[in-house]
Chains A and B, each alone.
Chain A
Amino acid sequence: MPRMRMNQAISAAIADEMRANPDVIVLGEDVAVAEGPFKTSAGLLEEFGPLRVRDTPISEMGFLGAAVGAAATGLRPVVEIMFVEFLGVALDQLSTEGAKFHYLSGGQVTVPLTVRASVGAGLGFGTQHSQTLESWVVGTPGLKLAVASGPATAYGLMRAAIRDDNPVVVLEPRRLYAQREEVTTGEAGIIALGQARQAASGDDATVVALGSTVGTATEAAADGSWSADVIDLQSLQPWDQDLVYASVARTGRLVTVEENPLSGGWGADVVAAVAADLFGELKAPPLRITAPDVPVPFGKELEERYMPSSAYVGEQITELLDTGRVPPPWWQREENTP
């Protein structure tokens, strides 16, 4: 198994799909000659040439819309949105056009489009380049959404996304691009969309994490006085209820760990579903561990505090287990009252 950084795994996944299918093309700002600002399209221009690997102007609405049109007429475009925030100017083409074509053609038109975007805090890029923004994508029927948590999931989810006949958004936590691990490549490395993965096993709680928080939650579980199933959701739309429910039915406690603000975060959906369907199985109220409802601040100390750390996750879960109640988040504790 090759050892790869996450950006290398992404380049490898795209290259493997491009070799397998001549309809796969790559579009984005500085993805060809410069191989992507995060080096997530390394070697693609050289191997596949300028017809299939294209630098675009800074025109997200234009090139994402063009990708929708190309996908609807037979190609399988992979579009890079350098920072997920840049999706804002192109959201109509994704959510209101591309996501609706299959429905509005009575099933006759498919849109096999992959939209990749870097997400998240931790690199000091400031508030307009540090959000996760899953909330821009969930709640749009017709779209699928996957989030990478490291090199192996990035590889597997990317290949599945490119093969899927629907528009799929794949989010890539920016601070993980340089993370390295062994990656199963080839068919065996492909990860079905909608399927979660158990990243750690334990008895006291089910900790559901996504993207950057998978590592945080796994670290907390390894250090804690408690043990937990850590589930890497991998896909958010659809999400793997079976794996989560099976685990919660066994542990009796649900915790979500999210990098996004509390309000509107993906964990609310998971908690609502579990609370409704497994009400009788729960030994404690579900706990959501999130960032506060503020824009992502600049400044190393502020940014680190903004994102849930493994120490904080550990403390919150310990308190949940000790008291049977949901502990207040750090920003509501007396010593931190703003």
Chain B
Amino acid sequence: MNTPLERREALQQDRQVRYERMVEIRALENKVQDLFDEGLVHGTTHLCLGQEAVAVGVAAAARVTDQVTCTYRGHGVALALGLTPVQLLGEILGREAGSIGGIGGSMHLCDPEIGLMPTFAIVGAGIPVAAGAALTAQVRGTDDAAIAVFGDGSTNIGAFHEALNLAAIWKLPVVFVCENNQYGEYSRIDLTTPVEDIACRAESYAIGGTIVDGQDPDAVAEAVSSALDHARSGGGPTLLELKTYRYAGHSRADTAPYRPDGEFESWYEKDPIVNFGRQLLDEGVLGENGIDEVQATVNARIDAAVELVLDSAPTPVDAMFAHVLAP
């Protein structure tokens, strides 16, 4: 099994790996749902099915020394940044093998080695924190940057507006990546947000705001790269709005009955995995049987990870006392 750093480097260098990682994210999320249905997962989980290109595009563009904050719908971003299936499943299943030893669960992942800051279960909370990570880079004079990945729903919370304003006046090297998946919890965006495009909110803070096709990993990577270049060169923050779609409900209990008929089908025509796979076939990056081969490789990897995690030690009770305070 590759290390998180190796996984990240491979993804940055190779578009086929990006495709494979999207397939992995989807397969893992489906596996999480299966494990849930089998009663093996304690608690809740929020799946990012349909949003794989956002995760992979961001991870392809970010340096490993850039810091990334993301949300409770963060399995995809974490895997794209390099977290291994074992680290992810271990956390969700409460095993020592989890990325923080099984003490956090589905919503709380972290791996500083690949720039994954502790993920946030409070809507909007990661946005100012990313600005703070950018402040560190600015004060220390490195050319690292930070990326906040958050949903459309969080752009209605004060923290979003405060963080954008602060980052703008201080010209912090941060990229605000809004994955607009059309839903905030159980509500369609038009019921909670008076503007159609979140990107226009950048104007209030005199920073760039760009709409990006969030179902195209190349477009995402290019937009994030360009915003990162701008940030690193002292130009300050950018707001990117990645239009995407949440295939699943908000959480395990939500079957999304509020979704209009035909909406899912129309988004599925833009499915990031199907389309990117086709594109790589056309380009010859994937061979004739490439799609099936990738799927088989991924399935084998995930089956092995599930087996390993289910056979591994549950987090011991006394683990709850570790790391409450720094030594």
Query: Interface on A for B, CB 8 Å cutoff?
Result: 29-30, 33-34, 37, 55-62, 85-86, 88-89, 123-129, 292-295, 297-303, 305-306, 331, 336, 338
Give, as a whole number of angstroms, the nearest-CB distance from B191 to chain A.
Answer: 6
Give, as a whole number of angstroms, the nearest-CB distance from B258 to chain A.
Answer: 7
A300 lies within 8 A of B42 (CB): yes
Query: How far is it, in angstroms, between the C-alpha of A202 and the C-alpha of B315 when the chains are bound?
Result: 39
Give, as a whole number of angstroms, the nearest-CB distance from A112 to chain B.
Answer: 25
B42 lies within 8 A of A299 (CB): yes
B322 lies within 8 A of A57 (CB): no
Within 8 A of A (CB), among B298-327: 314-315, 317-322, 324
Assuming A33-B258, A89-B157, what are 20 further A-B pairs, CB within 8 angstroms?
A33-B187, A55-B187, A58-B123, A58-B154, A58-B156, A59-B158, A61-B157, A124-B43, A125-B44, A125-B107, A126-B104, A126-B121, A127-B108, A128-B120, A294-B324, A298-B94, A298-B108, A299-B103, A300-B94, A301-B317
Give, as a whole number of angstroms, the nearest-CB distance from A39 to chain B.
Answer: 10
A302 lies within 8 A of B186 (CB): no
Which one, B44, B103, B107, B124, contacts A302 given CB within 8 A? Answer: B103
A-B contact count (CB 8 A): 128
Q: Which chain A residues border B315 with CB–CB below 8 Å?
A: 297, 299, 301-302
Which one, A33, A298, A305, contacts B102 given CB within 8 A? Answer: A298
Q: Which chain B residues border A60 with CB–CB below 8 Å?
A: 157
B193 lies within 8 A of A57 (CB): yes
> Could you tell me the dominant secondary structure of chain B's interface residues?
loop
Which one, A59, A124, A128, A306, contacts B121 given CB within 8 A? Answer: A128
Q: Which chain A residues border B180 with CB–CB below 8 Å?
A: none
State whether the Cβ of B139 lies closer than 8 Å to any Cβ in chain A: no
A293 lies within 8 A of B105 (CB): no
A126 lies within 8 A of B107 (CB): yes
Q: Which residue of B lies closest to A338 (CB)?
A: B321
Query: How far is it, in angstroms, between the C-alpha of A293 and the C-alpha of B323 when the chains are bound?
Result: 12
B94 lies within 8 A of A302 (CB): yes
A37 lies within 8 A of B185 (CB): yes
Most buried by B among A56, A58, A125, A331: A58
Q: Which chain B residues border A336 with CB–CB below 8 Å?
A: 317-318
State whether the Cβ of B1 lies closer than 8 Å to any Cβ in chain A: no
Q: A30-B186, A298-B94, A302-B317 are in contact. Are A126 and B122 (CB under 8 A)?
A: no
B320 lies within 8 A of A33 (CB): no
Most buried by B among A37, A302, A336: A302
State whether the Cβ of B159 lies closer than 8 Å to any Cβ in chain A: yes
Show 28 A/B contacts (Cβ-Cβ < 8 Å), sorted by A: A29-B187, A30-B185, A34-B187, A56-B192, A57-B156, A57-B184, A57-B193, A59-B157, A62-B156, A85-B122, A89-B124, A89-B157, A125-B43, A126-B104, A126-B107, A127-B104, A128-B122, A292-B320, A292-B321, A294-B321, A298-B42, A299-B102, A301-B94, A301-B314, A302-B103, A302-B319, A336-B317, A336-B318
Give, as a whole number of angstroms, the nearest-CB distance from A263 to chain B.
Answer: 11
Q: Which chain A residues border B320 with CB–CB below 8 Å?
A: 292, 294, 297, 302, 305-306
Q: Which residue of A lies closest to B324 (CB)?
A: A294
Q: Which chain B residues border A129 with CB–CB below 8 Å?
A: 107, 121
Query: How far is it, in angstroms, between the C-alpha of A301 and the C-alpha of B105 when the chains are bound?
Result: 13
